Structure 1
C-alpha cells in the first residue's frame, strides 16, 4: 500500500478506517497524464457515442399512460459526473466514455405514412435502450501486481428493466465507484462501491444516492483486498478443476445450486477464461502457477462480452468468486465446492 493516492477530503473523512488496511498513504495534488487507451471497458454488441449525440440526436422515452418523461441518459451521466466533482474536490476527473446498444428507431408524426426508403434524416427518431458510461479520476490510483489501477465511476441504464407502458414510477439505475485496470480496462467492482438496484424518481434523488455511495466506499480496503489476491496461487490442476466446476454449476439441480455461492459467468465466458489462460499477454498462466490476481482479471476480462444490462452484476460477481476461492485456498468452507 505504498502509493495509494487519495484526495485530502477523502483522506480526512476516512482516517479512522484507512490505517486498518494500509500502512501509509500519499496525498498529492499534481495531475497525472492519462495513458492512451487501447481497450474498451465493455465490448459485446455496444457502440461508442458522445454526450452531445445523446443530447442532440436522441429522444427521451416517456411513461406512456401519463406521458411523463423518464430521466434521460445524458441527465443520468451528468448527475453522476456532477456528484463526483462535488465529492472528489480538487481531483482531475476525465470526460465519460459512453457505450450504447439496442437502438430503438421511430419517426416523427409528419412522416408516419412515408415508405421507409423515402425517409429523411429529419423524419427519424431514435434512442438507445441500454447505456453504460465510465469516467476515470486519474489522480487517485494504485499499483497492484505491476498493474496501474485508476479510480473510476460509472453507471448503467437499461430501459428494458422498466415498464414504460405504465404511469410514471421510480426509475432503476446501477452505479459504481471502483478501480479500472489500465493495462486492459477491466473494471474492478466491490460491494461498498456498487448500487445494483438504485431506484429514484428525480435527478436530485440520484445525486444524493451517488454521494452516499461515495461516502460508504473505502478505496484503501478495496485495494488491500485486491493486493491479497496476488499472494495466493492456483496450480494448473486447481485452475482446470475450477473451470470444470464452473461448467458443472450450470447443470446442477436447482436445490443443490442454491446451496453453492452464486455464479453469473456464462459457459461462453468460461471458455474465454480458458483461452485467455493460454494466450492472454498480461494474465496467462500456462506452464506455471496462476496468481489469484491474474485469475480475477481473467474473469473480469471475459465479462467484457456481457450485455450492458448484466455487465455490472457479473463484474461484482467476479469479485465475489475471486475473493471466495482465495479464501477457500486458505481453509474457508464457503467456496470450497469449487476447489474440492
Structure 2
C-alpha cells in the first residue's frame, strides 16, 4: 500500500485532466466500509496484488535517452490491482475445511476510457469465503458486483455497504455444505471435462441454450491435473464429491488474470451447484453430464 501511495502517479482523464480514483483510495474505501459493517470483528490489513506496470517520465526528462534516466525521472502506475481483506473472526468449517469470510475487489484501468472526459469508473467487489487449506476463493452471485460504476469514493462506499447488506453468508455456507453430500463417478467426471472442452467450440446459437461456462482449455486442463495430483481435493480412482470438484474449479481460477479471476470464481460456484442439481434430476446443467 505504501508503494502505491508514495511511488505511483494517479492516471487522469485525458480531455479534462480530472483525476481517476486511485488504487489506494479504492482499497481504503472498501476497507472503511468493512470496518463499518463488520464493526467489532477482527479485520486484517489488505493483501494487495498489482500487475501490468505502465511506465512514464517527468517532463524534464522527455529528451533523455532511456539508459540515462534517473529513478527520479521515471513515473509508474499499475493498470490492474486486486486485493483481499480477511475477517478471521467470522469463519465456519465446511466438509472438514475451515472457511474464513473474505472481502475484496479488482480494478483494471483498461476497462475505463481514459482518453475522454471524466466519467464513471468500473470496479469489481465481492464478499465470500477463503478455504484456508488451499486459499481457494469461494464467491456467490449475491456477494459479487461484477460491474460497479461510480465517479467518486462516496458512491463507491455506499455501493459496497449495500452489497454487504444483500450478501447472505449463512445461505452461501449452506450451499457449499450441501456439495459434500453428492458425488461424481470417475466416468461422470471425465464426461463433464469433455463437455467443458466441447463447450468452447460450440456454435454461438448452441451455447445460448446452455448455462455459461467461462473456463478455458488451460483451466480445464488444470482441473484434470488437480484431480490426479491435488493432495487435498484429488480423487483419482474413486468418486469425487461435488465439494472436491468445486475446489478443483476454484483452484484452476488462480492462474487467471487479475481482471478475470473473480468472474471465473463466481462461475465455479454456478457450475458446481448446477451440476449438483443435475445429479438430482434438474435439467438446466444436464447437458454437461448427460
Q: How does the TM-score come out when normalised to structure 1?
A: 0.85
Deviations 1:291-318 (A, max 9, x none): 0000000000000010011111111001
Partner of residue 112, structure 1: 62
Deviations 1:147-201 (A, max 9, x none): 1000000000000111000000011000000000111111101111100000111
Partner of residue 31, structure 2: 81
Partner of residue 197, structure 2: 247
Matches of 2:7 and 2:44 in 1, distance apart? 23
Matches of 1:251 and 1:153 in 2, distance apart? 35
User: Tell me, which stretches of 5 or more residues in structure 1 are unaligned?
Assistant: 1-50
Matches of 1:229 and 1:195 in 2, distance apart? 24
Deviations 1:196-240 (A, max 9, x none): 000111100000000000110111000000000000000000000
Q: Relative contact order (C-alpha < 8 Å, sep 6+): which is higher? A: 1
Partner of residue 98, structure 2: 148
Deviations 1:118-171 (A, max 9, x none): 111111000000010001000000011111000000000000111000000011
Deviations 1:234-277 (A, max 9, x none): 00000000000000000111100111000000100000000000
Matches of 1:266 and 1:290 in 2, distance apart? 21
SS of structure 2 residue aligned to 1:195: strand
- What CA RMSD, in Å, does the superposition of the two structures yield over aligned residues? 0.5
Please state how far the C-alpha of 1:112 moved relative to its aligned partner. Answer: 0.8
User: Tell me, which stretches of 5 or more residues in structure 2 are unaligned?
Assistant: none
SS of structure 2 residue aligned to 1:191: strand
Partner of residue 282, structure 1: 232
Q: 1:206 aligns with which of 156, 159, 163?
A: 156
SS of structure 2 residue aligned to 1:308: coil
Matches of 1:168 and 1:157 in 2, distance apart? 17
Matches of 1:174 and 1:335 in 2, distance apart? 27
Partner of residue 190, structure 1: 140
Partner of residue 315, structure 1: 265
Matches of 1:239 and 1:64 in 2, distance apart? 51
Partner of residue 17, structure 1: none
Give matches, 1:131-170, under 5 Å.
131-170=81-120
SS of structure 1 residue aligned to 2:260: helix
Matches of 1:209 and 1:223 in 2, distance apart? 23
Q: How does the TM-score come out when normalised to structure 2?
A: 0.99
For the pair 1:302 / 2:262, whether they are aligned, the reply is no
Partner of residue 6, structure 2: 56
